[in-house]
Amino acid sequence: MRSVSVFGATGSVGGSTFDLLMRQGGPDRYRTVALTGGRNVARLAEMARALRAELAVTAHDDCLPALRAALAGSGVQVAAGRQALAEAADRPADWVMSAIVGAAGLEPGFRALAHGGTLALANKESLVTAGPLLMATAARHGARILPVDSEHSAIFQALAGEDMAAVERIILTASGGALRDWPLDRLAAATVDQALAHPNWAMGKRITIDSASMFNKALEVIETREYFGVDPAQIEVIIHPESLIHSMVAFRDGAVMAHLGAPDMRHAVGYALNWPERAALPVARLDFAAVGQLTFRAPDLARYPALRLAREVMAAGGMAGCAFNAAKEVALDHFIGGALGFAAMAEVVEDTLADLSRQNCLGNAPPTLEDVLSMDHLARRAAEKTVQARQSRR
């Protein structure tokens, strides 16, 4: 029996993972080692019962009594807190889904790699903040990282059997997010609800807002560089409003391999779950006559400063990716909380990076996970200061 763990089981990607595990045989086929979630303990308990998990962990200490009550008599062990999450990752599993959102997903992923199994990586922040270290850790333990971000799964599939030396360009598609067609002068005043109205994908709140600002695509450009090891100049972004091409690889003979499919994360999750086989998956089939046309347009960098920042972060190297992600998370928190406007998020990230760069903090690539976590902490503090300074100027 294959053993599995799902970090961030109660989220959007976690829910797709649970759905596929159940459809593909549930507890008869998979031994579920650990499932983790946040405050939604009822959902976590329901999943743990259905999969007969050995352990269920909530990220929040104050949620432990509720989780314990919900799982009374089930035989599922319960735990809470950050340390418990990390320890859950110390329990060996053949296949581990990393689907916690944000830098909080870093540590469980790193710990899971130590067992040398497969890490299905939805948590792109792991590659953005600590790409070289993550890849080296996987190599050292003989572990495999399979990309779950839809673009990176698409690229991975387009590259199957190909020689990386023959790759000319990787073309990441982007929907453009909820505010794609807004006039530029209105963008600065966009609200959280407006940014949440994604045209094609149903995803968690944070990544949906990041799609509207294209911070998500900025993270994905860096993720592409780290995972596939290509030069930043080889990575392009193109707006493709239909979201049916999930990304493309262009080769030196002029051929372009595009990956198409319905916008449903169960494809990318299911591919990583069943790899190297292709299993039958419950995703909608494309009807090309009904689709009619696929359209493309170049992204406007004035509208999406995050894309320019991603280039600067890659050029800076070292800890810049970690600082970029941390500052972005803080700015996003303040946008959600109402303290920052939509356009101010990119300004806060840019100012924070400039501030840390002046202090020579972005330096060399981090040698250990602890270095990454302390940089993450430092960059969050710097971003908070940037936000406060803006507010006192107002």
Contacts with Mg ion, residue ranges (CB under 5 A): 149-151
Regarding 122 and contact with ligand NAD (CB under 6 A), the answer is yes
Instruction: Compare residues 56 and 351 and give the one whose CB is closer to ligand NAD.
Output: 56
- What is the nearest approach in angstroms of ligand NAD to the Cβ of residue 282? 16
- What is the nearest approach in angstroms of ligand NAD to the Cβ of residue 103? 9
Regarding 207 and contact with ligand NAD (CB under 6 A), the answer is yes
- What is the nearest approach in angstroms of ligand NAD to the Cβ of residue 364? 26
Question: Distance between alpha carbon 355 and the CA centroid of its chain, in Å?
Answer: 26
Given 11, 109, 176, 177, the residue binding ligand NAD (CB under 6 A): 11
Among Mg ion, ligand NAD, none, residue 10 binds (CB under 5-8 Å by kind)? ligand NAD
- Residue 81: count other Cβ atoms within 10 Å of its Cβ: 16
Which among 8-16, 179-187, 348-356, 377-385 is the span making contact with ligand NAD, rule CB under 6 A? 8-16
CA-angle at 328, arms to 297 and 148, nearest 5°: 65
Closest residue to bound ligand NAD by CB: 11
- C-alpha–C-alpha distance, residues 72 and 282, integer Å: 33
Q: Does 204 count as an annotated binding residue? A: yes
Provide the β-strand partners of residue 119: 96, 145
Q: Does 274 count as an annotated binding residue? A: no
- What is the nearest approach in angstroms of ligand NAD to the Cβ of residue 246? 11
Under rule CB under 6 A, how many of the chain's residues touch ligand NAD?
A: 28
End-to-end CA gap in the chain: 60
Q: Does 192 count as an annotated binding residue? A: no
Q: Does 151 count as an annotated binding residue? A: yes
Beta-carbon contacts of 267 under 8 Å, excluding residues fewer than 6 positions away, are 150, 153, 261, 281, 283
Given 17, 32, 38, 175, the residue binding ligand NAD (CB under 6 A): 38
Instruction: Compare residues 244 and 355 and give the one whose CB is closer to ligand NAD.
Output: 244
Instruction: Compare residues 93 and 219 and give the one whose CB is closer to Mg ion.
Output: 219
Instruction: State which of positions 229-268 bind ligand NAD (CB under 6 A).
Output: 265
- What is the nearest approach in angstroms of ligand NAD to the Cβ of residue 24? 19
Q: Does 15 count as an annotated binding residue? A: no
Instruction: Compare residues 138 and 355 and give the one whose CB is closer to ligand NAD.
Output: 138
Given 5, 32, 123, 129, the residue binding ligand NAD (CB under 6 A): 123
Q: Does 123 count as an annotated binding residue? A: yes
Among Mg ion, ligand NAD, none, residue 123 binds (CB under 5-8 Å by kind)? ligand NAD
Question: Distance between alpha carbon 322 and the CA centroid of its chain, in Å?
Answer: 14
Closest residue to bound Mg ion by CB: 149
- What is the nearest approach in angstroms of ligand NAD to the Cβ of residue 185? 29
Regarding 37 and contact with ligand NAD (CB under 6 A), the answer is yes
Instruction: Compare residues 267 and 303 and give the one whose CB is closer to ligand NAD.
Output: 267
| Interacting residue ranges for ligand NAD, rule: CB under 6 A | 8-14, 37-38, 59, 85, 99-101, 104, 122-125, 149-150, 201, 203-207, 265
Known binding residues: 10-13, 38-40, 123-125, 149-151, 175, 198, 204, 211, 216-217, 220
Known binding residues for 1-deoxy-D-xylulose 5-phosphate: 124, 150-151, 175, 198, 211, 216-217, 220
